[in-house]
């Protein structure tokens, strides 16, 4: 092997000499790369898995549910231009009972397709077998409910269908592309223990529900290039007379939409956070290399005098940056792969895919490498222009003492009472404003990043609290099978433990404003509600207007409406009325896209008279079991839902899913903070070793000398803190906007404590890194430092 | 342990010993590559003495001076300052010793570039109990007019005089100077030396000056010739010359 060229030997020595800094920068780069690889790979793994799954199981593109249509209507659907395949079925939400469980459970009963091998939304059998066509009680059960309740082939449970309790035997466990994310109607998070999907042979289910020769649900696959909008319009036209609730595109299918929103968040993460890390690492490389060039001007002069070209000298320093970046890149790849794997495992719990393998695509590695190397070498390159400008002669002459002058603040008369060492700190900081500015920027950026990530915890808490303690304050939600006339109230009020009853009506509508439209549900509430409060952007409670609509901010933005504007309301059920309604106010509510109206006005709009389809109750928990039993026995009541459980489920989902992600980022932000602070203290130390040694010679104790070093960092940190807080606020707002989905919008809930904690982390990072550097003062070799003029 | 060529070198003087060194040895490195910077130095320095240290390059002068000033430790041997055994002191105690008793002047002035002349002096006057007023110290070296200038605004000689003012401003008992005129022209060098002689006379400061300039030896009480890590000889001047009488 050839011995290393001398100049590379120097590079290796420089790197070893600065190994702390090299590692710090490499870790910052690694954080950027890891984030990128983690988010992009998880995203790719998930979306590839979904694509493959959809493809193999023929996931439909248009869905529609309706009251009841004769099977002959299916032929008319098939005739719609652009439709390739139509699958009809019978579907019904039911109450499930499991022996020994008093809690209310809900389920979705679906009819199996005739031929699963060619059907749309074909099932994947995980274990067991399909139900026997001739045996009435056999079902396939969705894996999520089966796993949560410990069910397998052979298990039994009951379902109340059409008022009759049916005992069902599980013959197999299955997955469906329609239910990758399994979420019950009206739920905001999956509750696998209390909501399950199961399939029966169509003949049997139809018999139970009196749907022989009829269907109430259809899925359509379109020809390549067909417009789903045109098909949807045609479907609505064909099925209008059968009480269709409006056909909708895949985009609005709940499982698909949730996956989309999750994918959107992953890609937001990949687009916001890594760039910040990369900018910081470019900063760090710039500062380290320009400092290196300054201290090595002699050597650079020598190299040039020996005949090394400008390019060769610059290349020498860029090689330093490249080596650091490659180190960071490799660490980042490994960490990113590991984190990505963890995230994917996390998703495995919520998303039911037949196969979900975490894979890292080579192009993601290449992209991350290209981005990381370009950015960090960019920083290095800017720094090396300094070295290229040095002429051999200039580089060889010793630098005269740096010129200082009283700082601006001294000139205007401030700082008069500073100690002499205090002046040393202030003047040094102001003498090198660019370098000080970079340190301040670096610290401020890491503080900002920390605030922006930690605040997720505040914001999610605010989101959950405002939903459960303001928008939905009930203890229990009762849903009816069919809308019921208002006297149902009396029946409910007599149930055990019921303290307050508020009737509700929910109606699916399509809101249209100009070219924009959205399918949503209007929630009808009676005035004077205590179990549901709406607030405006100013945080004040809003009274329900007699006729107009209250819209959430995101929906208003989506439709482009402001208070006072009119929207077209197309009711998607019953008589399918079309009318106009005025938007009275825009409200702040963060879960879903809520639209509120007075129940009476809503009933007028649908033309249904005084009816309700659910009741929100305040109850006495002591009578809960009795209430459950009563509800089970009461015909016409479909399901009962406990808000307490919904709250817990939501919290758990956020804790496990979001919080894991957030802690990754908090960790990364701390790495940056440490990298910046350590780097700044190292540079300060090497810049000032001579001065500090001089002070030691003059009789200053180590502690007093260390104070100068620490003082400078403390001053820079102090300047950086308020800037970081402002940056944090900005980044947080940006992230919140990027993280917003139709399912939930995370309000900016920055708590003052978050600023405090984040600042503490930054201060700690600065303290730790200056402590590391202060240790070097302990071992400062006075004689050697004073001998050299370095 | 080791014994130098000159067994015990006593300098004729009436005043008590400020420094007493016995068998001072300094070895850098170990084994084959070990460098013996000091090979057993025995020397007594008396209060108020003005001593010039002459000797070829690499003979160990700086090493000795650094050990005297508590900047460095010998490998072997003992060193007393008055009643304190410096060789037994901790780092902290050595720092305190420097802080209270010692002023240093180096060939490269080692001023703090971010501080003005006055503030450079204040750096040490802030540390001790009865210092001079920084302005007085600067006037002593003839820099009364340049007190608010930063080092970069001063010539080499002026910077060195600030270093002298800084070293004497705390009224040290000991002044240690390593080639204080090395970087200066003759006239400027003389001004610096005059400042040193003044301090030695008015404050009775024990002063050690390392130099390569044999002419300077003329202003010393005693001239120590150093060679190969040992004291080779000591001569005492009967008549000291004033710095202004020296030229080179
Ligand atoms: N840190 C060190 N490591 C190894 N050897 C050293 C070290 N410091 C000094 N030496 C050696 O010790 C010997 C004495 O050095 P010293 O600096 O005391 O000489 P000096 O008499 O002051 O020389 P000059 O007149 O050139 O300043 C020299 O041979 C030198 O090489
Ligand atoms: Mg020397």
Note whether A132 and A65 are within 8 A (CB).
no
Q: Tens digit of pLDDT for each residue in A229-263?
A: 999 999 989 998 888 878 899 998 989 988 998 88
Distance from the Cα of A406 to chain B's closest Cα (Å) equals: 8
Quote the number of domains for chain B.
1
Helix axis angle for A752-778 and A702-739, nearest 10°, is 150
Interface test with A, best of B112, B134, B164 (most A CBs within 10 A): B112
Q: Tens digit of pLDDT for each residue in A13-64?
A: 878 888 888 888 888 889 889 988 988 898 999 999 999 999 999 999 999 9
**By alpha-carbon position, which residue is closest to atom 18 of ligand 1?**
B60
pLDDT of residue A338: 92
CA diameter of chain A: 102
Separation of alpha carbons A660 and A410, rounded Å: 49
**Nearest residue of chain B to residue A780 (CA atoms):** B71
Which of the two residues, A400 and A162, has the higher pLDDT score? A162
Q: Tens digit of pLDDT for each residue in A265-286?
A: 888 878 877 887 788 778 778 8
Rounded mean pLDDT of B194-200? Answer: 87
Q: Tens digit of pLDDT for each residue in A683-738?
A: 888 778 888 888 888 888 888 888 888 888 888 999 999 999 999 999 888 888 88
Distance from the Cα of A781 to chain B's closest Cα (Å) equals: 9
CA diameter of chain B: 55
Q: Tens digit of pLDDT for each residue in A565-578?
A: 999 998 887 777 88
Give the dihedral of Cα atoms A538, A540, A546, A550; nearest 10 deg: 40
Q: What percent of chain A has pLDDT over 70?
A: 95
3-state helix, strand, coil in chain A (%, to 5): 55, 20, 25
Rounded mean pLDDT of A333-353? Answer: 89
Note whether B127 and B170 are within 8 A (CB).
yes
Q: What percent of chain A has pLDDT over 90?
A: 33
Note whether A97 and A165 are within 8 A (CB).
yes
Strands B206-210 and B174-178: parallel
Ramachandran angles phi, psi of B130, nearest 5°: -120, 70
Ramachandran angles phi, psi of A744, nearest 5°: -155, 150
pLDDT of residue A200: 95
Strands A578-587 and A566-571: antiparallel
Confidence bin at A398 (pLDDT 50/70/90):
low
pLDDT of residue A788: 56
Interface ipTM > 0.90: no
Q: Considering the domain boundaries, does residue B5 fall inside one?
A: no
Give the dihedral of Cα atoms B115, B119, B121, B124; nearest 10 deg: -100
Q: For residues A212-240, b (16+ Cβ closer than 10 Å) or e, as one string?
A: eebbbbbbbbbeeebebeebbebbbebbe
Chain B residues inside the 8 Å CB shell of A789? 108
Put simply, whether A413 touches B (Cβ < 8 Å) is: no
**How many Cβ contacts (< 8 angstroms) between chains A and B?**
85
Which of the two residues, A692 and A84, has the higher pLDDT score? A84
Strands A595-598 and A138-142: unpaired
The answer, yes or no, to whether residue A639 has pLDDT greater than 80, is no
**By alpha-carbon position, which residue is closest to atom 4 of ligand 1?**
B28
Note whether B207 and B19 are within 8 A (CB).
no
Confidence bin at B3 (pLDDT 50/70/90):
very low
Among A43-52, A124-133, A631-640, B148-157, the minimum mean pLDDT is found in A631-640
DSSP string spanning A377-398?
Answer: HHHHHHHHHHHHH--HHHHHSP
In order of A206, A682, A694, the CA distances from A772 in angstroms are: 75, 9, 21
Q: Which of A403, A431, A697 sits opposite B98 (nearest CB)?
A: A697
Residue A670: which residues within 8 A CB-CB, separation 6 or more?
A446, A450, A761, A765
The answer, yes or no, to whether residue B6 has pLDDT greater than 50, is no
Note whether A746 and A464 are within 8 A (CB).
no
The answer, yes or no, to whether residue A640 has pLDDT greater than 70, is yes
Confidence bin at A401 (pLDDT 50/70/90):
low
pLDDT of residue A1: 44
The answer, yes or no, to whether residue A779 has pLDDT greater than 90, is no
Interface test with B, best of A694, A699, A702, A783 (most B CBs within 10 A): A699
Confidence bin at A3 (pLDDT 50/70/90):
low
Confidence bin at A512 (pLDDT 50/70/90):
very high
Put simply, whether A781 touches B (Cβ < 8 Å) is: no
**By alpha-carbon position, which residue is closest to atom 30 of ligand 1?**
B58
pLDDT of residue A789: 46
**Nearest residue of chain A to residue B99 (CA atoms):** A699
Distance from the Cα of A303 to chain B's closest Cα (Å) equals: 26
pLDDT of residue B202: 86
Q: What percent of chain B has pLDDT over 90?
A: 37
pLDDT of residue B162: 92
Note whether A301 and A392 are within 8 A (CB).
yes
Chain B residues inside the 8 Å CB shell of A420? 115, 119, 122-123, 126
In order of A251, A699, A732, A744, the CA distances from A741 in angstroms are: 13, 64, 16, 5
pLDDT of residue A523: 93
Q: Considering the domain boundaries, does residue B99 fall inside one?
A: yes
Rounded mean pLDDT of A735-759? Answer: 83
**For the whole model, what pTM was predicted?**
0.77
Token pair recorded at residue A401: 């003492």
pLDDT of residue A81: 94
Element (H, E) at A577: none
Verify whether the Cβ–Cβ distance B99 to A427 is below 8 Å. no
Residues within 6 Å of ligand 1 by CB: A 784; B 28-29, 35, 37, 55, 57-63
Confidence bin at B2 (pLDDT 50/70/90):
very low
Q: Tens digit of pLDDT for each residue in A461-508?
A: 888 888 888 888 899 988 887 888 988 899 899 999 999 999 999 998
pLDDT of residue A638: 67
The single residue listed with the structure tokens 């433990």 is: A497
Ramachandran angles phi, psi of B39, nearest 5°: -120, 50
| Domain CATH number, residue B170 | 3.40.50.300
Domain boundaries, chain A: 1-58+255-400, 59-254, 472-649
Average pLDDT, chain B: 85
Interface test with B, best of A425, A696, A698, A785 (most B CBs within 10 A): A698
Confidence bin at A396 (pLDDT 50/70/90):
low
Ramachandran angles phi, psi of A544, nearest 5°: -65, 130
Verify whether the Cβ–Cβ distance B166 to A698 is below 8 Å. yes
In order of A178, B207, B227, the CA distances from B74 in angstroms are: 83, 21, 17
The 3-state DSSP class for residue A66 equals strand
Q: Considering the domain boundaries, does residue B51 fall inside one?
A: yes
Domain of residue B167: give its range. Answer: 46-71+91-245
Separation of alpha carbons A268 and A263, rounded Å: 9
**By alpha-carbon position, which residue is closest to atom 13 of ligand 1?**
B37
Put simply, whether A695 touches B (Cβ < 8 Å) is: yes
The C-alpha angle A330, A332, A336, rounded to 5 degrees, equals: 125
CA-CA-CA-CA torsion sign (A324, A763, B115, A685): negative
Query: How far apart are the CA of B84 and the centre of ligand 1, in A?
Result: 26
Put simply, whether A401 touches B (Cβ < 8 Å) is: yes
Separation of alpha carbons A251 and A339, rounded Å: 29
**By alpha-carbon position, which residue is closest to atom 16 of ligand 1?**
B60
Ramachandran angles phi, psi of A543, nearest 5°: -80, 145
Closest CA to A475 of A493, A501, A494: A501
Rounded mean pLDDT of A171-192? Answer: 89
Token pair recorded at residue A770: 């200056």
Separation of alpha carbons B225 and B41, rounded Å: 12
Confidence bin at A4 (pLDDT 50/70/90):
low
Among A71-80, A199-208, A767-776, B69-78, the minimum mean pLDDT is found in A767-776
């Amino acid at each position: 092997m050839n011995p290393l060229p001398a100049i590379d030997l120097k590079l290796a020595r420089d790197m070893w000499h600065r190994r702390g800094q090299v590692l710090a920068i490499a870790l910052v780069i690694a954080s950027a790369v890891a984030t990128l690889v983690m988010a992009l790979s998880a995203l790719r793994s998930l979306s590839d898995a979904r694509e493959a799954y959809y493809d193999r199981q023929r996931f439909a593109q248009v869905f529609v549910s309706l009251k009841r249509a004769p099977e002959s209507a299916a032929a008319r659907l098939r005739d719609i231009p652009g439709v390739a395949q139509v699958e009809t079925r019978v579907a019904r939400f039911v109450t499930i009972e499991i022996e020994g469980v008093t809690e209310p459970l809900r389920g979705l009963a679906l009819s199996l397709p005739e031929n699963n091998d060619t059907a749309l939304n074909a099932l994947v059998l995980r274990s067991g077998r399909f139900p026997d066509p001739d045996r009435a009680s056999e079902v396939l059960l969705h894996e999520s409910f089966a796993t949560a309740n410990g069910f397998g082939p052979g298990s039994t449970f009951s379902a109340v269908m059409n008022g009759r309790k049916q005992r069902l035997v599980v013959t197999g466990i299955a997955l469906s592309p329609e239910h990758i994310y399994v979420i019950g109607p009206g739920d905001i998070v999956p509750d696998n223990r209390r909501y399950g999907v199961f399939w029966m042979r169509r003949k049997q289910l139809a018999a139970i529900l009196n749907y022989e020769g009829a269907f109430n649900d259809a899925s359509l696959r379109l020809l390549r290039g067909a417009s789903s909008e045109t098909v949807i319009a045609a479907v609505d036209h064909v099925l209008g007379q059968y009480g269709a609730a409006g056909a909708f595109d895949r985009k609005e299918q709940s499982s698909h939409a949730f996956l989309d929103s999750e994918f959107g968040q992953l890609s937001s993460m990949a687009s916001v956070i890594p760039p910040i890390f990369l900018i910081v690492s470019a900063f760090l490389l710039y500062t380290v290399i320009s400092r290196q060039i300054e201290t090595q001007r002699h050597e650079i002069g020598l190299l040039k005098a020996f005949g090394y070209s400008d390019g060769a000298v610059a290349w020498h320093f860029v090689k330093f940056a490249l080596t650091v970046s490659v180190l960071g890149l490799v660490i980042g790849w490994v960490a990113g792969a590991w984190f990505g794997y963890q995230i994917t495992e996390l998703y495995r719990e919520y998303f039911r895919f037949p196969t979900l393998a975490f894979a890292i695509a080579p192009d993601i590695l290449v992209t991350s490498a290209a981005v990381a190397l370009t950015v960090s070498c960019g920083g290095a390159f800017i720094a090396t222009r300094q070295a290229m400008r040095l002429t051999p002669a200039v580089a060889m002459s010793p630098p005269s003492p740096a010129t200082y002058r009283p700082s601006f603040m001294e000139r205007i008369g401030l700082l008069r009472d500073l100690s002499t060492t205090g002046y040393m700190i202030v003047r040094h900081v102001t003498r090198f404003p660019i370098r000080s500015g970079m340190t301040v920027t670096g610290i401020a950026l890491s503080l900002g990043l920390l605030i922006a990530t930690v605040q997720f915890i505040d914001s999610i808490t605010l989101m959950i609290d405002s939903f459960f303690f303001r928008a939905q304050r009930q203890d229990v939600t009762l849903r009816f099978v069919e809308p019921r006339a208002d006297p149902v109230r009396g029946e409910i009020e007599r149930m055990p433990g019921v303290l307050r009853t508020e009737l509700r009506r929910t109606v699916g509508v399509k809101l249209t404003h100009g070219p924009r439209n959205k399918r949503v549900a209007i929630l009808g509430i009676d005035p004077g509600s205590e179990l549901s409060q709406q607030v405006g952007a100013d945080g004040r409670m809003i009274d329900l207007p007699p006729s107009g609509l209250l819209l959430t901010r995101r929906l208003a933005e989506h439709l482009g409406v402001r208070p006072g504007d009119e929207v077209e309301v197309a009711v998607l059920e019953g008589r399918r009325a079309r009318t106009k309604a005025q938007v009275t106010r825009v409200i702040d509510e963060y879960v879903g896209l809520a639209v509120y109206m007075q129940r009476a006005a809503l009933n007028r709009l649908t033309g249904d008279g005084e009816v309700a389809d659910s009741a929100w109750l305040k109850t006495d928990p002591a009578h809960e079991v009795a209430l459950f039993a009563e509800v089970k026995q009461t015909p016409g009541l479909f399901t009962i839902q406990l808000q307490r459980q919904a709250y817990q489920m939501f919290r758990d989902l956020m804790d496990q899913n979001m919080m894991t992600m957030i802690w990754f980022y908090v960790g990364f932000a701390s790495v940056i903070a440490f990298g910046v602070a350590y780097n700044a203290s190292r540079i300060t130390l090497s810049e000032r070793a001579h001065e500090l040694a001089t002070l030691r010679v003059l009789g200053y104790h180590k502690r007093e000398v260390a104070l100068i070093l620490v003082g400078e960092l403390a001053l820079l940190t102090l300047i950086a803190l308020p800037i970081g807080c402002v940056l944090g606020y900005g980044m947080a707002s940006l992230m919140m906007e990027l993280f917003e989905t139709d399912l939930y919008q995370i309000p900016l809930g920055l708590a003052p404590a978050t600023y405090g904690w984040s600042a503490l982390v930054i201060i700690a990072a600065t303290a730790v890194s200056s402590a590391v550097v202060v240790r070097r003062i302990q071992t400062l070799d006075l004689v050697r430092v004073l001998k050299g003029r370095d | 342990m080791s014994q130098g060529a000159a067994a015990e070198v006593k300098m004729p003087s009436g005043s008590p010993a400020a420094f007493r060194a016995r068998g001072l040895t300094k070895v850098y490195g170990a084994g084959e590559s070990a460098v013996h910077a000091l090979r057993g130095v025995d020397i007594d320095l008396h209060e108020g003495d003005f001593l010039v240290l002459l000797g070829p390059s690499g003979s160990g002068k700086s090493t000795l001076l650094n050990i005297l000033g508590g900047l460095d430790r010998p490998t072997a041997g003992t060193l007393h300052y008055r009643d304190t055994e410096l060789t037994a002191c901790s780092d902290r105690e050595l720092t305190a010793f420097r802080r209270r008793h010692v002023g240093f002047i180096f060939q490269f002035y080692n001023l703090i570039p971010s501080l003005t002349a006055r503030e450079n002096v204040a750096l040490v006057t802030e540390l001790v109990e009865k210092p001079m007023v920084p302005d007085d110290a600067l006037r002593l070296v003839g820099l009364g007019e340049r007190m608010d200038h930063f080092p970069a605004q001063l010539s080499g000689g002026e910077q060195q005089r600030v270093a002298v003012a800084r070293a004497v401003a705390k009224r040290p008992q000991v002044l240690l100077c390593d080639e204080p005129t090395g970087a200066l022209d003759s006239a400027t060098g003389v001004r610096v030396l005059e400042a040193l002689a003044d301090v030695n006379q008015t404050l009775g400061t024990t002063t050690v000056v390392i130099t390569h300039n044999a002419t300077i030896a003329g202003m010393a009480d005693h001239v120590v010739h150093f060679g190969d890590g040992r004291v080779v000889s000591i001569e005492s001047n009967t008549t000291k010359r004033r710095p202004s009488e020296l030229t080179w």
